[in-house]
A and B are shown apart, each in its own frame.
Chain A
Amino acid sequence: MSRVKEFNLPDLGEGLTEGEILSWLVKVGDTIELNQPIVEVETAKAAVEIPAKWAGRVQSIFQAEGATVEVGTPIIAIDTDPTAGPLETPEPTDDAAKASSAAGEPAKGSAESGQNGDAASGGRTPVLVGYGPRTTAAKRRPRKGVAPAAPAQAAPVPAQPAPVPAQPAPVPAQTAPAPAASGPRATGNGHSGPAGGARVLAKPPVRKLAKDLGVDLSTLIGSGPLGSISREDVRQAASATVTTAQPLAAAAAVGSPAASVGAHREQRIPVKGVRKLTAENMSRSAFTAPHVTEFLTVDMTRAMKALDRLRQRREWRDVRVSPLLLVAKAVLLAVRRHPMVNSTWAGEEIVVKDYVNLGIAAATERGLIVPNVKDAGRLTLRELADSLTDLVQTAKAGKTSPADMSGGTLTITNVGVFGVDTGTPILPPGESAILAFGAVRKMPWVHKGKVRPRQVTTLGLSFDHRIIDGELGSRFLRDIGDFLADPEAALLAWT
């Protein structure tokens, strides 16, 4: 057995399929002890540290930080006997950053590694709970035909509305040797199959085979008992060349010229995680809260100059100061003047909040998340700046906790960072106003009676029209604009 062992990402919860590498706690070349924490992984359930399964030296790291890894994929290789001299095989790349692109590479490694070592009897390795993959060839005999007569009927059904097979066999004939006990049900049920929307009958291993071969079971007519689909049926379907105009997904590779780029030149991405949550929130909000969006274009030149002066102050020297900070301040001050904006529609009543948990929509590798600064209205400008910096960094690092994301009362989405001017944002559920902050551009602007290049931005405010009338929404947006046009004067006037 090789002394280099690969560690596969285990199922860290119950029934999880993947995990995200948050951070590596070791690097290639490190000497590690048994049970020393080596990597932090986040799953749908928890962020956990994985302890090293073997002592030794880190030989290679296959997955970069931030990578989402399927359970069972090798993530690290450990040389369990580093003092025994050089390895026979050339050392794999030690560059973790390259690792994710080298997704194909682990195949080489796993061949040499004997997986997790300790292969148990029966050729199974205890990679995961229960059964790991077999390392020896399976010795089971081929399936003996339960219904030896019938497999030929398994021709794929053309995609016509009514599933009329090419060689329609009379229903009773297909039943083959149906067990006597289930007689009456068998004739009625077994064959409604594809069209009736009833579940296709097939045993789990047959389903697995169909999945592996890319055969859609609902297009088959089974030859087994009760019309169930047998391995033979699946095989036949997989090998059949489809020449009809509408190729079946399963066999498309053989058919039309387009097939060379993949079934239908479509990619199917399972909807889950952040994407799923975002989708649910967005559609819920869009179809329950009547949205109104208003726009205001503002000359931010003075404000940008004020920011420059702020940056030059000693106590602000190492603080990250961005236009977003001023927008946040503007929103907070405007909320103080129009508290009704910071509210929730709760069916029978409107909940107006005395605190502002200011949400900032952030694009991260995992998708859109909206962490919020708690009780932002009470923070000084400096505290606000620090909080925003923290919040953004945490989000980028993928470490935003659920608590940080819940309880938001009002949100800013900084679409300007993508270089666009404005948008009509959708309210986060439970909030009544969201402000889109567009890019700040040099634009021709009438300033003191002359057209001048000025730093101009466009604000887009969406609000819940059940709570906020046009007048209130407009005044709120106007106040934000006033602050951004001349922050000093606004501060003097309002605070």
Chain B
Amino acid sequence: MAKGDPGVSTRGRRAVPRSRKGATGDPELVQLLTPEGERIESVTGPDGTEYRVDFTDEEYRSFYRDLVLVRKLDAEATALQRQGELGLWASLLGQEAAQVGSGRALRTQDMAFPTYREHGVLYCRGIDPIMPLGLFRGVDQGGWDPNEFKFNMYTIVIGAQTLHATGYAMGITMDGKTGTDEGEAVIAYFGDGATSQGDVNESFVWASVFNAPMVFFCQNNQYAISEPLERQTRIPLYRRAAGFGFPGVRVDGNDVLASYAVTRHALDNARHGQGPSLIEAYTYRMGAHTTSDDPTRYRIASEVEAWQAKDPIARMKAFLEKQKIAGDDFFAEVDEQAKRESVHLRERVLEMPNPEPSSMFDHVYPNGSPLVDQQRAQFTQYLESFEGSAH
């Protein structure tokens, strides 16, 4: 266990659950901040691990800032799609805490494998939020250097990235880069729907058998597009891990503090050579699956309202206010910053240049290929054969 981590500590096994007062009525859920903004000092997970966080006021405020910014930038992207500036957008609305909590739990050397919705994790990795927008605007193919940011490319194929992540994690072990505080770990993001994919289950098998240093981070947002959770599983998802031979835990995915604590613990276990674990962040997708989806067709308003009451930002704000950690000035300043950054993001999206059509042949092979060169030449000739037409 990494000692002296900022903000997190986990102590021995079988600690007595002290402050746990059934805030959600769900004994399986690790929670450190109730929807009303009450802090719970510590919680014991299903395997006896005790989770607690102890942040400075400044750190608490920065969690809040990240949550608000991530939501605002996401809203801006949704608006841009509605205005015809993006082809598609997968909103993270409602899942900010799971992403910011887990994203901030990553250490510099850790590697993340996102789906196409991890805008919050991307932000917490310190990456410019403009990066994935070229993909959604259709002006690039979503390619970036995963090594530069320790953040793999967005993966649209459901669950595929868990295999990539597992292979990467196995490589870390083979390179002997585990076993110390400086050890590397991998986090793979996926959703509840992906747990029904063969890829994810295969990843579980390989990661388990090879003791790969990785964390499977499942954001259970209750719907695989329109398919509800009860069509995916008969047991809570986190319990599936037991069958594969590694620990699983369910965390309140709308609680940024618990999401941080649980992820940090799992990552540290992994980097110290203790193998994989599964985290089920129990949350809710407040918006549509993507901008092409209409959630009112498959879920009812009262359900959405019930989750609205568990909003991750509202509870953090309530906590900061109650504890007098932050006041109106701070909240206004954060809102102002969020607005500024979203306007800036918008301006830069509108200025994104359209690519040259022949650029699709770039980056196919690192050192080029005669066949691709030939195709490029043919394509160039073909483009030149147009006259007058705008197409």
Chain A residues proximal to chain B, CB less than 8 Å: 7-14, 34-35, 45-51, 53, 118, 120-122, 124, 126-131, 133-134, 138, 140-144, 146, 203-205, 208-209, 231, 401-403
Contacts and interface: CB of A to CB of B under 8 A. Distances in A.
Given A7-B83, A401-B297, A208 B384 contact: no
Interface in B336-369: 343, 350-354
Given A120-B351, A120-B353, A140 B84 contact: no
A445 B95 CA distance: 70
B86 interface: yes
Nearest to A36: B79
B25 to A, nearest CB: 30
Return the 7 tightest CB-CB contacts between A and B, nearest first: A10-B84, A46-B294, A129-B87, A142-B387, A13-B292, A130-B138, A143-B385
Contact of A13 (B291, B343, B382): B291
A143 B138 contact: no
Contacts of A130: 87, 137-139, 354
Contacts of B83: 7, 10, 50-51, 53
Contact of B350 (A126, A134, A144, A231): A126
- Chain B contact surface mostly: loop
B390 interface: yes
A118 B85 CA distance: 11
Chain B interface: which size bin?
A: 35 or more
A259 to B, nearest CB: 27
B88 interface: yes
B180 interface: no
B354 A122 contact: yes
A38 to B, nearest CB: 10
Interface residues of A: mostly helix, strand, loop or mixed? loop
Interface string B373-389: 00000000011111111
Contact of A118 (B81, B351, B383): B351
Interface string B64-86: 00000000000110010111111
Nearest to A48: B82
A130 B391 CA distance: 12
A204 B390 CA distance: 12
A11 B384 contact: no
B294 A11 contact: no
Contacts of B40: none
B389 A12 contact: no
Among A47, A48, A121, max chain B CB count under 10 A is at A48
Contacts of B296: 47, 401
Contacts of B389: 138, 140, 205, 208-209
Contact of B138 (A129, A138, A140): A129
A45 B87 contact: no
11 contacts: A10-B84, A46-B293, A127-B84, A128-B84, A130-B139, A134-B390, A138-B388, A140-B386, A140-B388, A209-B389, A402-B297
Nearest to B357: A131
Contacts of B390: 133-134, 138
A133 to B, nearest CB: 6
B112 to A, nearest CB: 27
Contact of A10 (B82, B137, B353, B384): B82
B387 A35 contact: no
Contacts of A49: 82
Contacts of B81: 12
Given A34-B343, A46-B294, A129-B137, 8 more contacts: A10-B85, A46-B292, A122-B353, A130-B137, A130-B138, A133-B390, A401-B296, A401-B297
Nearest to B347: A118
Nearest to A72: B84
A489 to B, nearest CB: 42
Contacts of A142: 387-388
A229 B382 CA distance: 15
A35 B391 CA distance: 31
B288 interface: yes
A45 B385 CA distance: 37
Given A51-B82, A138-B388, A140-B384, A124 B354 contact: yes
Contacts of A51: 79, 82-83
Contacts of A12: 81-82, 291-292
A205 B385 CA distance: 10
A205 B383 CA distance: 10
Contacts of B391: 204-205, 208
A143 B82 contact: no
A142 B281 CA distance: 59
A118 B382 CA distance: 29
Contacts of A46: 288, 292-294, 297
B388 to A, nearest CB: 6
A46 to B, nearest CB: 3
Contacts of B350: 118, 126
Nearest to B355: A130
A7 B139 CA distance: 21
Contacts of B293: 45-46
B108 to A, nearest CB: 35
A121 B294 CA distance: 35
